[in-house]
Structure 1
């Protein structure tokens, strides 16, 4: 991206995605760990799907990761099963709306959503958060694609040294429609791991190395 998973995994583009409050889950259970990437699941009250949390560390500056997350047109290069992603509206250097399509194995219908990304910076702790709930409107719903309407999550980026950050990503999502157990399990196990491996490579690319935080966050 729970379903927890499906979007978590899938997007983790994701990106994106909560309001000003944090998740209440406290009983996270480790699902899998690989190459320093830990994936946890937690039950969600009133939901048939679980929330997902991913933890890892990167040798990169916080501004570089923010630049990758806000560079939505290139998220197909690292977000698991993302078919396309386009900018819908750039509100400011630290806020935008984007539209993404998620490709799923046949015969399951593909998904799409509109995300709203906002970046905030705590000047005392230097912790950066990137929120991006799925929002209605902006792009009409399409036939043969299930619109993800309910999704919330959050990136928390904590500097731990020069060009070194700790990353936490939490996602809770309802993928809509009926999803077979094998598909949910596949995304729960493979999606976050693959996306965060790809993200490690993405954040190390030259175009992000000299990135600066948006001027309104400094």
Structure 2
């Protein structure tokens, strides 16, 4: 079961990190570092991923906003469908995450919004989960509490990624099991993300709303 516990914790969804958060490193592979931190009034720990990729801001934002391609690189994502596009930087999407029998799959609807600071060029992508928009499915648990954030900082031809997430997967998944295997889903996803960035449609990306 451990390979499936934290499958859904990688899809970006609205999180406010505080300066007081105490992060403890729990894994590192291929220059991808993963940290965890206790969260007040929650048995589930928050997760942070920190790494640097050989890409431009436009490449990274193109990848993250291409939500329907999530099945190709986000660990154990069964489906990822665009629900509504408000603007090039504002969209709603629905995703379902596969879990092994006898556990029920999880799904969620998120409102994804990208913003760039005109002074620092740093890009922040939030996507709080929202209620409704997509009917609930039988034998699939709807995730209603998940907060995450991507922070993309330009570095001389590269991008530093800080991804923070706290999520309650709902239904029957014991907190100890979620915390014990918190690094696996994010680690596999970020490894796949690095390969996905090499595809021509991202490698040559140019966005009018992103300044590299």
The residue number in structure 1 matching 2:205 is 211
Structure 1 residues 21-170: aligned runs within 5 Å: 22-24=16-18, 26-162=21-157, 164-170=158-164
Q: Does structure 2 retain, via aligned residues, the 8 Å contact 1:94–1:214?
A: no
Cα deviation digits, residues 13-63 of structure 1 (max 9, x gap): x1x1216xx223521111111110011000110111010000001000011
The structure 2 residue matched to 1:18, chosen from 14, 28, 32, is: 14
Conserved? CA contact 1:11–1:82, under 8 Å: no
Q: What's the Cα RMSD here?
A: 1.7
Task: Name the CA distance, whole Å, in 2 between partners of 1:165 and 1:103.
Answer: 30
Query: Aligned equivalents of 2:208 and 2:103: distance in 1?
Result: 39
Structure 1 residues 59 and 140: alpha-carbon distance in aligned structure 2, compared to 1, 3 A threshold: same
Instruction: Return the match for 2:192 from 190, 194, 198.
Output: 198
**Pairs aligned (count):** 206
After superposition, the Cα gap between the structure-2 partners of 1:214 and 1:43, relative to the gap in structure 1 and judged at 3 Å, is: farther
Q: Distance in 1 between matches of 2:208 and 2:172?
A: 40
SS of the aligned residue for 1:201 comes to helix
8 Å contact 1:41–1:50 — kept in the other structure?
Answer: yes
Where does structure 2 lack aligned partners over 5 or more consecutive residues? none
Three-state SS of the structure 2 residue aligned to 1:199 is helix
Structure having the higher helix fraction is: 1
What SS does the corresponding residue of 2:26 show, helix, strand or coil? Answer: strand
CA contact (8 A) 2:108 2:129 kept: yes
SS at match of 1:10: coil
Counterpart Cα distance in 2 of 1:11 and 1:188: 8
Post-superposition shift, 1:123? 1.0
- The Cα of 1:209 is off from its aligned counterpart by 1.7
Aligned mates of 1:143, 1:214 — CA distance in 2: 41
For residues 175 and 146 of structure 2, what CA distance do their matches in structure 1 show?
A: 20
TM-score in terms of structure 1 length: 0.89
What is the CA distance between 1:134 and its match in structure 2?
Answer: 0.8
